[in-house]
Amino acid sequence: MESLERVNWEDLAALYRAAPLGDKKAADLELVFSSSMFRCFAFESDSVVAAGRVLADGRDCAYLCDVAVLPSHQGRGLGKEVISRLLERSKSHSKIFLYAVPGKEPLYRKFGFKRMTTAMAIFEDQAAAQARGYLSED
């Protein structure tokens, strides 16, 4: 499902904390998901149990991000389904980027992602990003 109508943003924030993908504020999640070209949600009853989004320019670059599955629902293929749907929607782009939680790279390799040798990033908290394994020393 792509619609934002059913999303309870506090529930989505709780999903990201539980996943664990950080402490994201409900209002920030509403802004970033609303601003994303593509998004995908999985629900159980009225609760969001999986989500992901793609920032994209419509032709050249797409960025797969914020893919999360509630721990109680992991191992059921929900994450793979969210990724598959988002990649299908993004296939008209020349390139699709992502950065993965360290250790999750094998999952993304199954979809055809390869490690980039030139990728670089600036994080709001560079030291924390480095400590979590997102940045190298250089």
How many distinct structural domains can be found in the chain? 2
* Cα-based distances in Å from 13 to 61, 72, 110, 116: 27, 16, 27, 30
27 with 69, same domain? yes
63 with 24, same domain? yes
Q: What is the pLDDT of residues 72-105, one digit of tens each?
A: 999 999 999 999 999 999 999 999 999 888 888 9
> Could you give the strand order of the β-sheet that contains 95-97, starting from the edge strand earlier in sequence?
38-44, 47-56, 61-69, 95-97
Q: Is 3 inside a domain boundary?
A: no
94 with 131, same domain? no
37 with 81, same domain? yes
65 with 129, same domain? no
What does pTM read for this prediction? 0.90
Q: Is 2 inside a domain boundary?
A: no
pLDDT at 138 over 80: no
Q: Is 76 inside a domain boundary?
A: yes
Q: Is 4 inside a domain boundary?
A: no
84 with 61, same domain? yes
133 or 17, which is more confident: 17
Q: What is the pLDDT of residues 34-83, one digit of tens each?
A: 999 999 999 998 899 999 999 999 999 999 999 999 999 999 999 999 99
- Please give the share of the chain, as a percent, with pLDDT higher than 70: 99
Tokens read off for 93: 């782009």
54 with 86, same domain? yes
88 with 41, same domain? yes
Q: Is 31 inside a domain boundary?
A: yes
Q: What is the CA radius of gyration of the chain?
A: 15
Distance CA 19, CA 74 (A): 9
Q: Domain of 66: which CATH number? A: 3.40.630.30
SS (H, E, C) the chain: CCCCCCCCHHHHHHHHHHCCCCCCCHHHHHHHHHHCCEEEEEEECCEEEEEEEEEECCCCEEEEEEEEECHHHCCCCHHHHHHHHHHHHHCCCCEEECCCCCCCHHHHHCCCCCCCCCCCCCCCCHHHHHHCCCCCCC
Domain range for 50: 9-98
